[in-house]
Structure 1
Amino acid sequence: MGFLAGEDITAARLNRLQPKQYWAQASALLETNQTAQDIPGVTVTFNTEMPNAVYTACLVADFDWNAVDTTLSSARIKVDGGFPINLFAVGQMQVASDRGTNAQNYRGVLGSAGSHTITAVGTTVTNRINVYSSLLVVVYEVV
């Protein structure tokens, strides 16, 4: 990622040295569902200039129970419309009025340059995922 002696330094290369942050907050509740569905508003779209950019992501899901259910509820991310990553933020509550704001971290490589989208998806049984959910993505370009 360095520069060689005598090498010309361009503004574009210098810009890629700076990590870029993207953030999104839920815009509506994700109501009870049995399959992984997009959490409304928890999507970031961005462009990379070079292949093999590295991303880190922190997903925070606010689980809000409205009935007693000991079944796990979960949230995770998917990248560029692919299958959700099998690393979950999970919640399991014993009382209908329980609430939990849980997080999970991710790291990956974006193989190609261009437009990318990272979306949070949630699976719930008798609860919902609240609007206090968010996603922070930091992208590190390769020089």
Structure 2
Amino acid sequence: MPILAGQIVTAAQLDRLQPTPYSAECTAALTGTTSYQPIPGLTITLATETAGARFTASGVFDCSVTVVHATNLMVGKLQVGGTDQSGLAIHAMDTPDRDTVAMSWSGTLASAGTQTFTLLGVINGAGGGGQFHLHSRLEVVIYEVT
């Protein structure tokens, strides 16, 4: 709903016009497996007031390779409401190292109400070992419409 000339604007309408940031930090390391698992602490549950709210999200994955594998990858992704978002954070497992890998996402939330954003991690094949560590982080910004 647009704000019309001469319209009395409510505080709630103005609140929705400003971006709302949310953040989460990893609470425990996740040892990677061959199936996607939520990274502990990296879930944000929030409420939007209007359908069509936009979001931007940034995921930072603190990845360490503990067992080298020539071709496997550590992969991080974002789910919104249980739906995978396109774009992956990828870390090669060919060196015993520790790196920070980031990815960003954006999209539109179809309906108003409770929204859940979760970062998940995986090792894409058998062999190799690694962990997603405590310096992993999730940032989400919601842009409501009036």
State TM-score, norm by structure 1.
Answer: 0.93
Residues 32, 121 of structure 2: 8 Å contact kept: no
Residues 44, 116 of structure 2: 8 Å contact kept: yes
Match of 1:106 in 2: 105
Tell me the alpha carbon deviations over residues 33-68 of structure 1, each in whole angstroms, 9 at most, x when there is no partner: 001110110011111000000000000001111111
Q: CA deviation at 1:2?
A: 5.4
1:4 and 2:7 correspond = no
Match of 2:121 in 1: 122
Residues 30, 39 of structure 1: 8 Å contact kept: yes
Cα distance in 1 for residues equivalent to 2:32 and 2:2: 49
Q: CA deviation at 1:99?
A: 1.0
Cα distance in 1 for residues equivalent to 2:21 and 2:86: 23
Match of 2:43 in 1: 43
Q: Extract unaligned runs of 5+ from structure 2.
A: none
SS at match of 1:69: coil
Q: What is the RMSD computed on CA atoms of the aligned residues?
A: 1.3
Q: Structure 1: which amino acid aligns with 2:51?
A: P
Match of 1:18 in 2: 18
Q: CA deviation at 1:93?
A: 3.5
Q: Structure 2: which amino acid aligns with 1:58?
A: S
Moved segments of 4+, more than 4 Å: none
Q: Structure 2: which amino acid aligns with 1:123?
A: V
SS at match of 2:92: strand
Residues 32, 74 of structure 2: 8 Å contact kept: no
Match of 1:86 in 2: 86
Residues 93, 99 of structure 1: 8 Å contact kept: no
Cα distance in 2 for residues equivalent to 1:46 and 1:59: 17
Q: Structure 1: which amino acid aligns with 2:48?
A: T
Aligned pairs, number: 141
Cα distance in 1 for residues equivalent to 2:86 and 2:49: 27
Identity %: 38
Cα distance in 2 for residues equivalent to 1:3 and 1:111: 21
Q: Structure 2: which amino acid aligns with 1:50?
A: T
